[in-house]
Amino acid sequence: MKVLVVDDEQHAREAVKLLVDWSGHGFEQLLEADNGEEAKRLITEHRPELVLTDMHMPIADGKALMEWIAGHYPGTQTIVISGFSDFDYMRHTVKYGGSDYLLKPLEPDQLNEAVRKSTDLIRARKEALLRQSAHNIERNQYKPVYWDSVFTRLATEPSVNVPLAEQLGKEFGCPTGGAPCVAVVCGLNPSPVSLLKRFRGDSELLAFAVANVLNDFVRLQWQAGYAFRLAGGTDAVVMLFWDGFDRLSERLEKLQSALSRTMNAPMHFALSLPQPCPKGLRVAVQQAKEALAGRNLLDPRTLIHSYRPRSSSAAVRPHLSDVEEALRLAVVSRSEEEIASALRRWTSELQAMDKITPADVAAWEQEYRILKSKWLQSLFRGVAPAEDAPAASMEELPVVYDEEGMFLTGEMERRLIRTLSRMSEALSVRKRSERSVIAEILQYIDQHLDKDLSLFNVAGRFYLSREYISRRFKQ
């Protein structure tokens, strides 16, 4: 801590410095001034926690200095040291927050006690500020999470929770009487690899950062709505606008520009039709999500997408399941060429498409998961060494995008051929292992024909299930 002694008499300043054990009270630096103006300069530069000042001084006296301290640095503790037992001086000291009024000549015990009390007040104030700061930090950390949860409930629950809607009205000015609102979803999946690397792969942190950037404009600058993360998901941030619809297009472009500068990556926005708030919030968010899921991944430079009702004449997507049997036979054959040939029957149809949507990709991913599950059951049944190798060799559908978010069919095809080839090799290893185990079982039986062997004994000997051994011998 720092202390400033203000007195126009040098000997008085020296006495104050000598009579107090400053280091014992926690003060590391002692400053001096011989008038109020010099004291103001030192206070501004060094911010001392404690000021001891005389009242009667040239240029600027103690009364003016105390008024200035109270107005500019109200947290600074002051002790008045005066040669005058003047009621007006004492009243001024109390009025402007002085903690003590001491008369010259100074008594060492009185001075030390006054410094001790002021030091206790300084420390108590600092501790209170630290507690308040920690509380504010904690509250500010959890407030966005709480409001995300409230908005999510209104955006997902079938009926309106009136108390929650009223909370949003008081906190954000969100309309509660049916005024129109528009939901805008900012898509974060797929995110460019370079962007995820900046956030160390933490998609939740990315969503939090995007929501903060958006709210700097939507809530703080324009006071037109609020951006929130849907609880339980990190693939999108939702903006709810309830004001400024005539400038919405212009503002969305400004938000795109702000995100591009901040994240150095393009972000897709999808808009709903106007809906009554809060009753239509669920419909608005659903419409915006549908618009985002229906954007064209082959045209990543179109960044703003509006909701349109589904057309009955929508294009039929090629199904991975259409080539399932051909792929299975190719995997069993251990031929990479046959795997590639079977797979291209599907990917060639993808390459002929002029529009591929996130909904298409999600459907193909689901088909692939089903296909993977069926193959692991049919091709890798039974118990054998390295049981997880097949599952490890057959990863999720290797969907690939470039830095702008364009879907790359050719690169997905190449990676999928490698994945299925690894699975084919794992299947070959499994079959060789099974043949080896069966041969060992046969040899063991031949060597113990004179004994009464049961299926239970053989299964225990080779750490296999009885069902597996029975099935293999029947085959």
Task: Please determine, for residue 129, whether its predicted confidence score (pLDDT) is greater than 70.
Answer: yes
The span from the CA of 266 to the CA of 128, in Å, is 45
- Give the pLDDT score at 437: 66
**Confidence band (pLDDT; 50, 70, 90) for 289?**
very high
What lies within 8 Å, CB to CB, of 222 at 6+ separation is: 243, 244, 251
| Number of Cβ atoms within 10 Å of the Cβ of 53 | 25
Give me the helices (H) in 247-357, please.
Answer: 248-263, 281-293, 324-333, 336-351
**Interior CA angle at 61 toward 56 and 65, to 5°?**
135
- Contact (Cβ atoms closer than 8 angstroms) between residue 239 and residue 186: yes
- In the chain, the amino acid numbered 342 is A
Could you give the CA distance from residue 59 to residue 65 in angstroms, rounded to a whole number? 11
First to last CA, the chain: 87
- At 102-123, the pLDDT tens digits run 888 888 888 888 999 999 998 8
Give the per-residue pLDDT at 140. 61
The pLDDT tens digits of the residues spanning 403-413 come to 888 899 999 99
Q: What's the rounded Cα separation, in Å, for the pair 444 and 458?
A: 9
SS3 sequence of 167-193: HHHHHHCCCCCCCEEEEEEEECCCCCH
What pLDDT score was predicted for residue 283? 95
What is the distance between the alpha carbons of residues 117 and 151, in angstroms, rounded to a whole number? 50
Q: What is the C-alpha separation between 107 and 104, in angstroms, rounded? A: 8
What is the rounded average pLDDT for all residues in the chain?
85
Residue 8: the pLDDT is 86
**CA 291, chain centre distance (Å):** 24
Q: Are 203 and 196 in contact (CB under 8 A)?
A: yes
Q: Is the pLDDT of residue 384 over 50?
A: no
| pLDDT per position as a tens digit, 135-145 | 665 566 678 88
Q: Is the pLDDT of residue 265 over 70?
A: yes
Q: Which residues pair with 228 in a beta bridge?
A: 238
Confidence (pLDDT) at 224: 94
Name the band, by pLDDT with cuts 50, 70 and 90, for residue 249.
very high
d(CA 291, CA 117): 67
Length of the chain: 475
CB atoms within 10 A of CB 164: 16
CA angle 131, 137, 143 (to 5 degrees): 130
pLDDT tens figures, 43-70: 999 999 999 998 888 888 888 898 899 8
What pLDDT is attached to residue 85? 80
Whether the ω angle into residue 108 lies within 30 degrees of 0, i.e. cis, is: no
pLDDT digits (tens, 9 = 90+) for 293-340: 999 999 988 999 999 987 765 568 899 989 998 988 888 888 889 999
**Token digits for 311?**
């057309």
Q: Could you count the other beta carbons within 10 Å of the beta carbon of residue 132? A: 10
For residue range 414-467, what is the model confidence (pLDDT) as tens digits? 999 998 888 888 777 766 666 666 777 777 777 777 777 777 777 776 656 677
Tokens of 215: 């709210």
Please report the pLDDT score of residue 250 as a whole number.
95
Name every residue whose Cβ is closer than 8 Å to that of residue 295 and which is 6 or more positions away in sequence: 187, 268, 270, 302, 305, 357, 358
